[in-house]
Structure 1
Amino acid sequence: MDLQRRNNVTVRGEGPSTLIFSHGFGCDQTMWNYLFTHFTSRFRVVLYDLVGAGNSSLEAYTREKYLSLNGYARDLNEIVDAYAEGPVILVGHSVSAMIGALADRMAPGRIAAHVMIGPSPCYIDSDDYVGGFTSEDIQSLLDTLDSNYLGWSSNMAPAIMGAPGQPALSEELTNSFCRTHPEIAKHFARVTFMSDNRKDVTGLATPTLILQSTDDLIAPVVVGEYLHAVMPNSQLTLVDNVGHCPHMSAPSACSAAMDAFLCTWMPKHAG
């Protein structure tokens, strides 16, 4: 199966470098519509849907391949090889930030930089780490998903989105959750929330911008601080925002932070 059909790949804009946008759980590439257009006059922009989401090919989905995030990382590297031109910057929201880190580990040197929006390498607290949830919290979440995915989506989307002054965004996220195949979403949720990628991000030397909302139910600020501490070439920028999707609810702040970051290491191309 060709990659365009498998991942519903879309290419916009032109420039000497490529920005690849990778969405989070329950979303698809349309969630980037508030942000990506800012970059199309200066960059080649590649958008895609994770297999099982959006308009990707459901025929390409197997539980065996996507039993861990590694399957999605291999897909991402194939998209990089097929569609990217020049230096590659991965823009990953939530779980896709970790998919990007895994892709980087699999093909060292191919990815020039990361922009991680609301990333978390591990959601579960441990003795020496704060992820924001107890193991009981995560198991309860997964049990609720298994028993009533659509109900969970309707109840949780507004809390995940935040943005209390922009109710249309909560509705957009709810609709995105509801478009995702329920059985695939349940499996992907388990893969996402049970993953522990702390070893994968520790010492990752690729220049990285960590963008965190100041108030995020899913990825609290302490998680961004952890990532900044263990990734030697990272910088942490806090966006004054409530919710897990600042690329939707605060796109101007996100684009400004990305512009500043891009200018620090590729001034010839960032404009």
Structure 2
Amino acid sequence: MQQAGELARWEKAEIERSANEASGTDPDGLCVSDFNISRYMNPPADTPFPLEYAYHLLGDVRGKVVLDFGCGNGENTLLLVKRGAKVISMDLSQSLIELAKRRLELNGVSGDVTFLVASAHNLPLRSNSVDIVFGMAILHHLDLALAAPEVRRVLRKNGKAIFQEPVRNSRMLRAIRKLIPYRHPDVSPFERPLTDQELANFARGFAGSSDKAFLLPYVRLAQHLPIDRKRVRDLYHLDARVLRRFPSLNHYAAIKVMELVK
């Protein structure tokens, strides 16, 4: 757990990273195709794509209060509104909140949505006020020891939290990454891939937890090669079959989707 001064530096770095991300965002990129929206309306349980699986776990959210935890530029806010949720779209960055608002405007999407600039370490929300916390690639930016009790606090009894996070369990891969000094401007000095143990620690105090692994290293490699998109999609399907057949390989997966129940 961070001390107050260290936490302030942590969050300042995240705000600066977010401002850089927002300044480099092409407004045309905020428009979402009908096809991409349709992918997340009712995805199947056996989808090989981690974000689709997270949306499968949501279930029927019509009329439910969903906290888009670290909403960024509003990609998930838009989809949650389209699915009929009462959305609280929260981020530490005012710049990204403005992009999230702009995204909804450009796509002609309106609904029950509240935008909130706030810290995930100290949520300005009433206890037991949220049905679902939905956090896509947010935990690896946070002090988990501070964020976990806040997530539990705002959730109603039997409410659930769904997270999609980058993981790096292999000590060898972590060691190799440390040898590469380059850091993209959109990456803060505090963010890092998590480990299964860190996710397990975060889940302590919840009544139930489950997770599913996605993306063995060859899929990530293919994403950065000049390979036809269809072939990359085929690799996702192969990846799902391999992980089902050899669950011990979960240790080497790059993404985990986790569901927690209060």
The two structures share one fold, judged by TM-score above 0.5: no
**Normalising by structure 2, what TM-score?**
0.40
Name which one, 1 or 2, has greater alpha-carbon Rg: 2
